[in-house]
A = this chain, B = another copy of it.
């Protein structure tokens, strides 16, 4: 299973993640339906090899736009991600719930409270009430988010960047209504009330001094296979997440690949008012400039790769020269399918980077044990600690895809459930025998703890008789007998590969 961690703001991050989940799910379907053991081609294709059971996605969400409104804790980005992934989003708006009414807000306004330019929908309000109730009861924002997600089942783990309240403010460059030049106002007021139309001199993260990354955030970056910076605002969404102590450092330290997707296409923000934010921090509104702003992990930045839109292809050489692997592909998230395709490109470029990082394994065929998941994890662990020195397949499996039988002395790369190369093994023996003739020595050498042939047989029959195997073989009634021909392979561990 591929562990993907996304650092997301609101609409852009949410929509990208929805496409990512769709891509991983369709990869999973493909594997389950057609390709349980796969071959080298599949492994090298990257994406699908990494998907396993739809992958495990963690979204670290910007909470810098959060605020108290009428005594309720509003978390715009968390809610946008949760609603988008959970099927509760207003597709038209990109945020909030569909079929909204605003009766309660109108009443609050009748009391002279609230902000006239920030209205809460009646349906959406329930989320804020429940979250606030949980927070007031002592729950962390992480725990409250997890609770809310129990209803929406977003299909990904949502983590706020921090459990502390870090609220982005902007410093006004000029007077605006009741505010004076130099005043700090809440980001949401600037964004929603002024549509980012008032010039600002800086962004200030109020509360940052007391903030640490929420539980799981650093680990989700360090233990990921792939970290994605989706097309979110690089300043007030991803930039805010990166400002939390430890997060940038984790991005630089992780063994995962870090792939970004440009939120700027042809010199304009895909959505929102990122251009104003970029201008404020002195960065040009271009795919190139934003990529260079994030920077290469080979220097002091956070990116391994940066996807730019096909219209920005001329930025690729400069990005590559700066140590950032780059490719130009269509980046318009016009629908979920198009977005899934962008996610596929991100997965692909990550796989390419991984493969490129392992030149020693580059030409070796792939050895996959069982299906990605707990069983493979167990088998791979046994290979790595040297306890597994045999393996068994039915002969018929080799016929399905005209795969050659193992050759003594040949080497293969063992990949784990995430598709990562973890070891090199060598075939030291090969026999084709009747299943009934398997001996205790072979069974014990499987490294699965079998101390009798009968126990070994039960374990293997449950695998061979599984729905997945029968589907793969195209035989819903496939059953082994004592007479079934099996390939008994002996192997030895040549090298444990360093983690990428």
Q: Which residues of A come within 8 Å of B, CB atoms?
A: 70-72, 101, 103-108, 110-113, 122-123, 125-127, 129-130, 132-133, 136-137, 147-148, 150-151
* Seed contacts A71-B132, A104-B122, A104-B123; 17 additional CB < 8 Å A-B pairs: A70-B129, A70-B130, A71-B129, A71-B137, A103-B122, A104-B125, A104-B129, A105-B126, A107-B125, A107-B126, A107-B127, A108-B126, A110-B126, A111-B147, A111-B151, A113-B133, A125-B125
Q: Which 3 A-B pairs have the closest CB atoms?
A: A71-B133, A107-B126, A103-B122
Q: How far is the CB of A171 from chain B (nearest CB, A)?
A: 26
Q: In the complex the two chains form, what is the Cα distance from A104 to B127 in whole Å?
A: 9
Which among A70, A71, A101 has the highest number of chain B CB atoms within 10 Å? A71
Q: In the complex the two chains form, what is the Cα distance from A498 to B486 in whole Å?
A: 116
In the complex, which residues of chain B have a beta carbon less than 8 angstroms from the beta carbon of A150?
112
Q: In the complex the two chains form, what is the Cα distance from A147 to B122 in whole Å?
A: 23
In the complex, which residues of chain B have a beta carbon less than 8 angstroms from the beta carbon of A133?
70-72, 113
In the complex formed, the residue of B with least CB distance to A102 is B122
**5 A–B contacts, CB within 8 A, in A order:** A70-B133, A107-B122, A111-B127, A111-B147, A125-B125
Q: How far is the CB of A128 from chain B (nearest CB, A)?
A: 9
Q: In the complex the two chains form, what is the Cα distance from A57 to B254 in whole Å?
A: 71
In the complex, which residues of chain B have a beta carbon less than 8 angstroms from the beta carbon of A108?
126, 129-130
In the complex, which residues of chain B have a beta carbon less than 8 angstroms from the beta carbon of A147?
111
In the complex formed, the residue of B with least CB distance to A132 is B71
Kindly identify which residue among B71, B101, B111 contacts A101, using a CB–CB cutoff of 8 Å: B101
Contact flag A148-B104 (CB < 8 Å), given A71-B129, A72-B129, A136-B71:
no
In the complex, which residues of chain B have a beta carbon less than 8 angstroms from the beta carbon of A151?
110-112
Q: Contact: B123 with A111, CB < 8 Å?
A: no
In the complex, which residues of chain B have a beta carbon less than 8 angstroms from the beta carbon of A123?
103-104, 107
Q: In the complex the two chains form, what is the Cα distance from A185 to B113 in whole Å?
A: 34
Q: How far is the CB of A145 from chain B (nearest CB, A)?
A: 12
Q: In the complex the two chains form, what is the Cα distance from A103 to B123 in whole Å?
A: 6
In the complex, which residues of chain B have a beta carbon less than 8 angstroms from the beta carbon of A107?
122-123, 125-127
Q: Contact: B110 with A122, CB < 8 Å?
A: no
In the complex formed, the residue of B with least CB distance to A124 is B107
Q: Contact: A104 with B126, CB < 8 Å?
A: yes
Kindly identify which residue among B112, B122, B127, B132 contacts A122, using a CB–CB cutoff of 8 Å: B122
Contact flag A122-B101 (CB < 8 Å), given A108-B129, A130-B108:
yes
Q: How far is the CB of A150 from chain B (nearest CB, A)?
A: 8
Q: Contact: B103 with A148, CB < 8 Å?
A: no
In the complex, which residues of chain B have a beta carbon less than 8 angstroms from the beta carbon of A125?
104, 107, 125
Q: Contact: B126 with A111, CB < 8 Å?
A: yes
Q: In the complex the two chains form, what is the Cα distance from A123 to B110 in whole Å?
A: 11
In the complex formed, the residue of B with least CB distance to A126 is B107
Q: How far is the CB of A70 from chain B (nearest CB, A)?
A: 5
In the complex, which residues of chain B have a beta carbon less than 8 angstroms from the beta carbon of A130?
70, 108, 111, 113
Q: In the complex the two chains form, what is the Cα distance from A260 to B71 in whole Å?
A: 40
In the complex, which residues of chain B have a beta carbon less than 8 angstroms from the beta carbon of A148?
111
